Structure 1
Amino acid sequence: MDLQRLAAARLVAEPQGGVASRRQLYAAGLQEIHVRRAVESGRWRLHGRHTVAVHTGPLDVVAQRWRAVWEVGESIAVLDGVTALQADGLRTFDDERIHVSAKHNHNTVPLDGIRIHKVIRRVEGELVRAGVPRTRPAVAAIRAAHWAQSDRQAALVLLMVVQQRLTSPGLLATEQRRIRGRTRRAFIKGVVGDIAFGVQSLGELDFARLCRARGIPEPCRQVVRQGPRGRLYLDVGWSCCDLVVEVDGAQHREGVHVMLDNLRQTAHTSHRCRFDVSHGHG
């Protein structure tokens, strides 16, 4: 292969983790014989029917995502669910599988490490074409919640996308109404509603449900109080009785968090409650 074609192939593959589709390589001026000779000579490696690595090393995460789209079907498949969120910057959510969605009326072949989800329809404006094809964060989050292994995991991903500012509560609510998954519809609607009212953690979500189960009025979220060093934002509160509650997760029992929390809570009202979710009790 001449240097010009080699440079063209590397230019295509570089932003994609060192991989390119056959279609991309042919569009860049290479022919099938050039690809075959590069593979047979040991300079390149095939990773499926459509994916060509312009190196012989393992595929990184970016390359694996591109491969998933091409091997499922370049014209029908996009990253979706947790994988689409990770491509947009979601951090600390543990799921090594690559989730891809495709229209339900297309035939697909099972692939190792790739979870293919069939969707009845695409909703208007759901796709991002810049970079690896994927769904927008609000759509991906709602689908990820429907595809989650448990209600707890579903709630976690919905909370995390808002915490990490990948999307907004309003957009989540919009997509929750548009996307009708097959599982936990009522549960997701409830979680999205709580997020819209200011719930920001699993602990706060648990507290809200305990209040409802016991007939306690719905509190205000992220209550603002004036402290000696400025404004304080507290998890929940009731203006009717000047009562506020801080919801402490496990992280509040680590390092200096205990001392900082105690100092912080002495700075506001004399009516204080702490709800400890690190051990499942208040």
Structure 2
Amino acid sequence: MDRRILGIHDRAAAAAVAYGGVISRRRLRDLGIDRNEVRLQLRQRRWVAHGRWTIATHTGELGELARRWRAVWEVGQRIAALDGPTALQHAGLRRWSDDAIHVSVPHTARIHRVEGVVVHKVRSRPIETLGPGELPAVRPAPAAVRAAHWAVSDRQAALVMVMPVQQRLCTGSAILKAAELVRGRTRRAFVARVAADIALGAQAVGELDFAELCRRYGLPEPSRQVVRQGRRGRVYLDVRWPCGLVVEIDGAGHRWGLSVMDDNLRQNAVALGGDTVLRIDLFGLRIAEEQFMTQAVTAHARLTVGAQPVG
């Protein structure tokens, strides 16, 4: 290979490392590599063009970082930012699958379609919602709220809001603040309720909601915060009926740390005392209300028919 061409290739490849093996035509110009030299590298198949502005300094598949840079460059670096689920994945979100790259742009932007990229026009993207780093990306909390608005179902929306908090990418209070700042076009009331649930750990909120649900589904109103004496001290039951049916309503905090162990011990102790225990997570009340309440109605009917009050 010509020494001059080798020098060009080495310079570009070294600069592309920071971008996952791709580089923009603008950055190549900054390195002193003009369009004719780029064209030569492409023609000789040392480099590959992935759109109008993105050049790979190799001929292999693009990795995640390269695909994200490509999305921003091709949509427009001055207007585009990773957002929603892609911004969360960029921040380190695990166990979430979405092969598309999601970016947001101002609602007045004129854009063209980019393969593999989902472009969302948003009315507002305050500067404080953008995270640090050269690659434009929305911070986890507002990205989670955006992802919830863009989700295909309430179930997916609730999940994408709680997962970043569970994985310590942001706090519940940050989710609540982001829900006030980011005003999506869909499921606004639902997102606001879930954000409050996450921020508050929401056991008390869940109990109030559950009392209203009992009335709606024809169940008698249960007693709340019933005290039982367990082997490790007092046990507070969220709701209980005289027939011996107990429903435990788990807020967001019940899935973190040692809370699961503590809840299991408590449930086992209550069951050994003769009660029937159903568990309903608070998000279940939001997205699978009918299924959970049908279970509660069925259990109450079975325990009530021919049974004597248990306490």
Give TM-score scaled by structure 2 length: 0.71
- Helix, strand or coil: the match of 1:102? strand
Q: State the identity %.
A: 42
Whole-angstrom CA distance in 2 between matches of 1:142 and 1:55: 36
Whole-angstrom CA distance in 2 between matches of 1:5 and 1:151: 51
Whole-angstrom CA distance in 1 between matches of 2:151 and 2:236: 27
Quick one: which of 13, 17, 40 aligns to 1:14? 17
What residue number does 1:256 align with? none
What residue number does 1:49 align with? 52
CA offsets, 1:190-221, max 9 Å, x none? 11111112159xxx99888545422669989x
The alpha carbon displacement at 1:262 in A equals 6.0
8 Å CA contact retained: 2:87, 2:138: yes
- Residues 236 and 98 of structure 1: CA distance in aligned 2, closer, same or farther (over 3 Å): farther
- Residues 150 and 244 of structure 1: CA distance in aligned 2, closer, same or farther (over 3 Å): closer
Quick one: which of 273, 278, 281 aligns to 2:277? 273
Whole-angstrom CA distance in 2 between matches of 1:54 and 1:131: 20
- Residues 56 and 272 of structure 1: CA distance in aligned 2, closer, same or farther (over 3 Å): same
Aligned pair count reads 259
Gaps of 5+ in 2: 216-220, 240-245, 256-260, 285-290, 297-311
Q: Which amino acid aligns with 1:214?
A: C
Whole-angstrom CA distance in 2 between matches of 1:60 and 1:80: 18
- Helix, strand or coil: the match of 2:128? coil
Cα-Cα RMSD: 3.7
- Residues 191 and 260 of structure 1: CA distance in aligned 2, closer, same or farther (over 3 Å): closer
Quick one: which of 122, 126, 130 aligns to 1:123? 126
CA offsets, 1:51-82, max 9 Å, x none? 00000111112111111110000111011000
Gaps of 5+ in 1: 253-258
Whole-angstrom CA distance in 2 between matches of 1:212 and 1:101: 39
8 Å CA contact retained: 1:10, 1:54: yes
Task: Select the structure that is richer in helix.
Answer: 2
8 Å CA contact retained: 2:270, 2:277: no
8 Å CA contact retained: 1:45, 1:53: yes
Whole-angstrom CA distance in 2 between matches of 1:35 and 1:219: 72
Q: Rg larger in 1 or in 2?
A: 2
